[in-house]
């Protein structure tokens, strides 16, 4: 049984996984191309809000955890788990560069008998195709014979305090049965339930299926929201009613659009790959279209609400409440809040945001023009000075009763104000 593994990519997925292996008695070498992350970890600091540094410090102290940037440190490691990003290119096509660069970095240090597992979300065929090719080319070793290769998708639920890596069943597919068994044995040390499947491709397809299911169902409920709203029916009340059915229904909730690294992106990995097989992905495209239209719908509701008060959007002071894409996390990747802010600004509004998890907007690839903008203080004076507040992310810890008593107008995309008394015409759902 291996007692020392490496995890490449110490982000939202890699870091919690590292911690779970450490807790299970496995030593972990963390590798990342970002020297700032490596330095922070080695100094006992965390850069992920819901993962306090105190969790790591004991393992740094006893020498079982160390972080680095040099892949030569892989010497002596029994297995390497890859948790690097799989984004889309500018043309919304799969960008495997991080995965393949990682493969190229690992290959020269690949020793006979090593296990390499890809965890990043991707289309079927990546592990036994592109990744295998770079590992074999760079090492001169043959996958399945001289080293093992497997795919095991991450199923992290960031910000959910009840979600524990150890409790989430882990799918594992291998290039050969021996690859799969080897990977299953490794994960069994850290995770309660390991689910073997017949191939890497089945495991890759299962992960995409999970996220496509989410994206399509969120699109469905977003469309129903717009339809019911036109009929004067509150979709949130409808969902609460429907979910009392004990079978055949599962609630999904509407919002201002999709966010995060997974649900808005992963379906397009399948859509791209499907074209190679002459297949179209109509559900994926339609869901993408509906979800992408949500920020514009919300901005339309803001304009309507202001208009009702005789105010134009242009020149109005609008606070977007919640910048992270999801409640309880500091992750703002692909957040629909940015689309809301852009659209509001384009229409002449003066735009602010408040997010207790994101005190300042860090430089990022997609929204460089907002970098450096700071979260406005949560105070009666600030909130009263706004013409409208748009609840984009329903973070815990925000005082929605104070919001309802201070804000002149609230446009709520998350039903965060449910059950809190408001004044007539003050609350608009979107």
Ligand X SMILES: NC(=O)c1ccc[n+]([C@@H]2O[C@H](COP(=O)([O-])OP(=O)(O)OC[C@H]3O[C@@H](n4cnc5c(N)ncnc54)[C@H](O)[C@@H]3O)[C@@H](O)[C@H]2O)c1
Choose the stretch contacting ligand X; rule: CB under 6 A; options: 95-103, 190-198, 365-373, 384-392. 95-103
Q: Is 356 in the site for ligand X (CB under 6 A)?
A: no
Spell out, one character per residue from 130 to 159, where the chain touches ligand X: x when CB under 6 A holds, - when not: ------------------------x-x-x-
Which tokens is 116 given? 């390499």
Shortest Å, Cβ 266 to ligand X: 6
User: Does 89 sit near ligand X (CB under 6 A)?
Assistant: no
409 DSSP 8-state letter: -
Among 23, 50, 98, 317, binds ligand X (CB under 6 A): 98
382, 365 contact by CB (below 8 A): no
Note the Cα 6 to chain centre separation in Å: 22
Cβ closer to ligand X: 311 or 367? 367
Contact with ligand X (CB under 6 A): which of 85, 125, 138, 300? 85
DSSP helix/strand/coil, 167: helix
Identify the helix (H) or strand (E) that includes residue 242.
Answer: helix 235-242
Residue from 21, 22, 27, 37 touching ligand X (CB under 6 A): that is 37
- The piece of 96-104, 194-202, 311-319, 355-363 that touches ligand X (CB under 6 A) is 96-104
CA dist 43 and 364 (Å) reads 24
Known catalytic residue at 200: no
Q: Note whether 299 and 341 are within 8 A (CB).
A: no
CA nearest 211: which of 140, 260, 174?
260
Are 122 and 204 contacting, i.e. CB atoms less than 8 angstroms apart?
A: yes
Q: Does 109 bind ligand X (CB under 6 A)?
A: no
* H helices, E strands: number in the chain: 14, 13
Of 6, 7, 13, 208, the one binding ligand X (CB under 6 A) is 13
Q: d(Cα 64, Cα 324) in Å, to the nearest integer?
A: 33
* Residue 33 binds to ligand X (criterion: CB under 6 A): yes
**What value does the CA radius of gyration of the chain take, rounded to a whole number of Å?**
23
**CB closer to ligand X, 104 vs 311:** 104
**Number of residues this chain uses to bind ligand X (CB under 6 A):** 27
State in angstroms the smallest separation of the CB of 417 from ligand X.
Answer: 27
Which CB sits closer to ligand X, 68 or 408? 68
- CA dist 261 and 420 (Å) reads 32
Q: How far apart are CA 61 and CA 23, in angstroms?
A: 14
| Minimum distance, C-beta of residue 88 to ligand X, in the bound complex (Å) | 11
- Quote the least distance from Cβ 10 to ligand X, whole Å: 5
| DSSP code for 165 | G
Q: Tell me which residues in 153-212 interact with ligand X (CB under 6 A).
A: 154, 156, 158
User: Which segments within 50-184 are labelled E, that is strand?
Assistant: 65-68, 79-82, 115-118, 148-151, 170-174
What amino acid positions are annotated as catalytic residues? Answer: 262
Task: By CB under 6 A, name the binding residues for ligand X.
Answer: 8-14, 31-34, 37, 83-86, 98, 101-102, 105, 120-121, 154, 156, 158, 261-262
């Amino acid at each position: 049984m291996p007692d020392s593994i490496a995890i490449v990519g110490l982000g939202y997925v890699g870091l919690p996984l590292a911690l779970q292996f450490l807790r299970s008695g496995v030593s972990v070498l963390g590798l990342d191309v970002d020297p700032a992350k490596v330095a922070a970890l080695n100094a006992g600091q965390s850069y992920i809000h819901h993962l306090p540094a105190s969790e790591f410090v004991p393992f740094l102290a006893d020498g079982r955890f160390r972080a680095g940037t040099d892949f030569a440190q892989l010497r002596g490691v029994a297995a390497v788990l890859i948790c690097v990003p799989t984004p889309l290119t500018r043309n919304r096509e799969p960008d495997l560069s991080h995965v393949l660069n990682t493969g190229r970095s690992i290959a020269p240090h690949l020793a006979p008998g090593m296990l390499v597992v890809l965890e990043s979300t991707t289309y079927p065929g990546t592990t036994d195709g592109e990744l295998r090719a770079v590992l074999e080319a760079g090492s001169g070793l043959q996958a399945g014979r001289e080293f093992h290769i497997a795919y095991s998708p991450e199923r992290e639920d960031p910000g959910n305090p009840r979600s524990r890596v150890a409790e989430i069943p882990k799918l594992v597919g291998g290039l050969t049965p021996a690859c799969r068994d080897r990977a299953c044995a490794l994960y069994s040390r850290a995770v309660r339930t390991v689910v073997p499947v017949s191939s890497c491709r089945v495991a890759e397809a299962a992960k995409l299926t999970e996220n496509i299911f989410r994206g399509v169902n969120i699109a469905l409920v977003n469309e129903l929201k717009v339809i019911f709203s036109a009929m004067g029916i509150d979709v949130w009340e409808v969902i609460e009613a429907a979910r009392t059915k004990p079978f055949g229904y599962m609630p999904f909730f509407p919002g201002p659009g999709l966010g995060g690294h997974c649900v808005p992106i992963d379906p397009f990995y399948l859509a791209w790959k499907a074209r190679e097989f002459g297949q179209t992905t109509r559900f994926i495209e339609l869901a993408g279209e509906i979800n992408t239209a949500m920020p514009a719908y919300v901005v339309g509701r803001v304009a309507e609400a202001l208009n009702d008060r005789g105010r134009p959007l242009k020149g109005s002071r609008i606070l977007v409440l919640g910048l992270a894409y999801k409640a309880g996390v500091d992750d703002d990747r692909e957040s629909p809040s940015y689309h809301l802010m852009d659209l509001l600004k384009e229409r002449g509004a003066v735009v602010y945001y408040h997010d207790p998890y994101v005190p300042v907007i860090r430089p990022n690839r997609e929204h460089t023009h907002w970098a450096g903008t700071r979260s406005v203080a949560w105070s009666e004076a600030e909130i009263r000075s706004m013409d409208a507040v748009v609840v984009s992310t329903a973070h815990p810890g925000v005082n929605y009763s104070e919001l309802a008593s201070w804000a002149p107008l609230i446009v709520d995309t998350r039903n965060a104000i449910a059950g809190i008394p408001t004044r007539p015409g003050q609350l608009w759902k979107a």
